[in-house]
Amino acid sequence: MTYPGAPIQGVTLYSFTRAFHGRQYDLEGLIRKVADDGMGPGLEIIGFSAFRGFPDIDDAYVDWFQGVVADSGLVLTSCAVNTDIGIRRDRLLTDEELIAYMERQIAASARLGFPLARVQISLTPDSMERLLPVAERYGITLAIEIHAHHHPHAPMVQALRDRYEKLGSPLLGFVADWGTTTSGLAPSMVEAYRRRGASQELLQAADQLWRQYYQDGPPPTEPAHGERFGSFIELAGRHGFPELGIDLAINATGLFGPARVESWLEIMPWVRHVHGKFFGIDQTGEEPSVPVRELVAQLVETGYQGAISSEYEGWHWNYWDDAFDIVAGEQALQRAAATDAGSQMVVDPAVARNQLQGHFGRAVAAG
């Protein structure tokens, strides 16, 4: 049977940050846990958080890592790299310094065997054009992540899309993060604030404010986003919890975006990877704050052949549930959604590798 689109099941190790930081697992242990629990075959890793010394890695480390991945049977999909223009104490990086900083990370990602490097929205269209020869040199795709509070219709995203279209290179694209298209605040986050002492009145007011912003749609400008950020700080103070204000504002406006699912259609031809951002699974097996079924159906209907990295973000506040069980539940939801849409998620490593070769237009390493 031929399906219009068959996304590849995968996960980012970022989902298990709490277990990694708590030293329940080291990098190899996490990779093998993902493989043993059937959460692959796609594997995404954040460079700086997982690889000691990144981006300065030697051949022995590369050989060791690729051996572990090959032995696990997983397939590398994305290495998340950082666009940290503020890493100096005295000033921001110049354009030249930023390009050099990015090239080191891109080169390391390619050496490790990743077909794609996820870069961040602070890179301008000019920067991406300057990095295209770097991508060509190392044979790796560069994809800017669209993450809340940004969205597909944001001016900077549109400018990037226009530049991609002008350059016409398959090595440039986007990572679509589902946190851009949420439908409400996560119950687990609300519960975490309740455990920290927030009143029911504050929690209800925060929910009402977020829903008003959802009705209004994504912030049209950066000042508008700043105003929304400030309104949550003001709300917490007005209800007697000023100490929660900044934290609430960061989460409500930085993790939960109000863009609609259909907005992704604007840039779908340039989507090279997907972050299946989610925050929890309820007792019915659904994600109450992310329209997972609609998002998966859209990928199937548009013929997407890349990977979806399940990205559990609820670990920031949820310390009482097991992240591995939660990710397994979300992946079951994705598989059910793909079936309902007339397709199926790819879970076989050999099929995934062959499909990614077609998706990226070149061979994908076995590990």
pTM of the predicted protein model: 0.96
Per residue of the chain (367 residues), what is the pLDDT tens digit? Answer: 446 789 999 999 999 999 999 999 999 999 999 999 999 999 999 999 999 999 999 999 999 999 999 999 999 999 999 999 999 999 999 999 999 999 999 999 999 999 999 999 989 999 999 999 999 999 999 999 999 999 999 999 999 999 999 999 999 999 999 999 999 999 999 999 999 999 999 999 999 999 999 999 999 899 999 999 999 999 999 999 999 999 999 999 999 999 999 999 999 999 999 999 999 999 999 999 999 999 999 999 999 999 999 999 999 999 999 999 999 999 999 999 999 999 999 999 999 999 999 999 877 775 5
pLDDT of 106 reads 98
How far apart CA 278 and CA 333 sit, in angstroms, is 11
Q: What token pair was written down for 133?
A: 């020869």
Q: Helix (H, G, I), strand (E, B), or coil: what is residue 11? A: strand
What DSSP string describes 164-222?
HHHHT-TTEEEEEEGGGB-SS--HHHHHHHHHTT--HHHHHHHHHHHHHHHHH-S-SSH
Give 143's strand partners.
118, 173
CB 254 within 8 A of CB 179: no
Give strand ranges (E) for 93-171.
116-119, 141-146
Residues designated as active site: 147
Give 259's strand partners.
none
